[in-house]
Amino acid sequence: MIVFELINPNFLFEHKKSLEYAFAQQCVAIPTSVKFDVDKESGFIKFHNDLPLKDVLNLKGLYPKTSSEAIEKSLKFYVKLQKEINILLNNWSVNYNSLYYRELESNKSFFKPIKNIDFLPNADDFANSVAIPLIDQTTEAIIGWKCKFSPTINLNGKLVPVFGSSIEIRIGQYDAKNAVQIISVEVNWRTIVRYSKVERFLQTNSEPEHKHGSQHAHLESKEKPIVYFLYDDKMPQIYLSPYEINIVSGHHVDFFPASNYSLYLEFLVERQNNGINIKALVFGGSGSYEGNWHIIPMSIGVKTSTKNAIIKTQIIQGRHLSLTELNVEVEGQFNLALHINDLKTKAVFSKCIFIIGKKQSNVFKLKSNGIVA
């Protein structure tokens, strides 16, 4: 079982201007005309050409006619972009190598560095691709394509899915050199810099499965495949770690941690006479956690945060399973987020839920207790 350490997003953010220029050059755009962003928490990249491309390119007025043609042209552009970005960032590694990594002293001997870092995922490891035509509402003619690709992790020739990852490229007309114009690029990916072998959680042929409307972990006798899980943007993530996946009723996907470096949580909401009771089931990790509730009332715009250490953890089917509980009495609509920090491995996980409250009190009561399977 392999766990990957991810790049410190500050490295990419520090070199945002250079990355912006490299994207603009590869996309045939004037640097002053583009919108470019590197997210501080995730390192996700967004590029958009803001200048009318007829002012930059000698356009033919022709568009790719089929989805396969659109995918072919998008991939050709992407491979060239990835090569240039790798050259650019690896040239910085001589002076900036220390910025790749976070200050995790325990990882220096446990995790091994990746020799040749791919700052953008390798196109050879894309599992799926889809091209969606962009249609002019008046003429009903194709005016471009949105092409989306699914990166994977290549483990000894086996492509393992990475849920949450994607490369999206929007293309337009052909230019005089028979290349398509690049309108926008979105890279939902976190660069891998180190890796380590870890033990998989004990296998008993019975794995916990989340059931809607239940406050307990039920067991189902099935062996689950392994995937990796990429968090949303704006969410901190230190490791790309393995999870077991379970597809329920053909449409709902459940994730369950497969290593001590993997964390996940589920919210269970119950309305009571005196307010709302929110339970959070925390799965996986080392069993030593710190939890932080963040309550953001939407109606008054005041952010309140209260801390809670999850103090009771049980081992169920070879994995850690904990419960933290929050009772809320508040009026109006608010967002509730829980941030979990594993004190031993330094793995983190956050999740948010939207709540509609009915009470007029701003009293927040917090308690912790163990869960009974």
| Ordered structural domains, the chain, with CATH | 2-195 (no CATH), 203-368 (2.60.40.10)
Buried b (16+ CB within 10 A) or exposed e, 302-338: eeeeeebebeebeebbebbbbbbbbbbbbeeebebeb
DSSP state for residue 124 in the 8-state scheme? G
Please tell me the distance from the alpha carbon of residue 117 to that of residue 120, in angstroms, as a whole number. 9
Is residue 39 exposed (0-12), middle (13-18) or buried (19+ Cβ within 10 Å)?
Answer: middle
Q: Which long-range contacts (CB under 8 A, 24 or more apart) does 94-101 make?
A: 96/11, 96/14, 99/8, 99/10, 99/11, 99/14, 100/7, 100/8, 100/11, 100/193, 101/5, 101/7, 101/8, 101/193, 101/194
**What region does 223 belong to: left with phi over 0, alpha with psi -120 to 50, or beta?**
beta
Residue 111: closest CA among 347, 340, 339: 347
Which helix (H) or strand (E) segment holds residue 194: the answer is strand 192-197
Reading the block at residue 250, the tokens are: 């053909």
Distance of CA 359 to the CA centre of its chain: 35
Distance of CA 95 to the CA centre of its chain: 28
Please tell me the distance from the alpha carbon of residue 132 to that of residue 147, in angstroms, as a whole number. 6
Reading the block at residue 12, the tokens are: 């990419």
Per-residue pLDDT of the chain (373 residues; tens, 9 = 90+): 899 999 888 888 888 888 888 888 888 766 667 889 999 888 999 999 876 555 555 667 788 999 999 999 999 999 999 998 888 877 765 444 445 555 555 555 678 877 778 889 999 999 999 999 999 888 888 889 999 999 999 998 899 999 999 999 999 888 777 778 888 999 999 999 889 999 887 544 434 444 343 333 343 445 678 999 999 888 889 999 999 987 776 667 788 899 999 998 888 888 777 667 788 888 888 888 887 777 776 655 444 444 443 434 555 555 566 767 766 665 667 778 888 888 888 899 988 888 776 543 333 333 333 332 2
Q: Which residues share a beta bridge with 315?
A: 320
pTM over 0.85: no
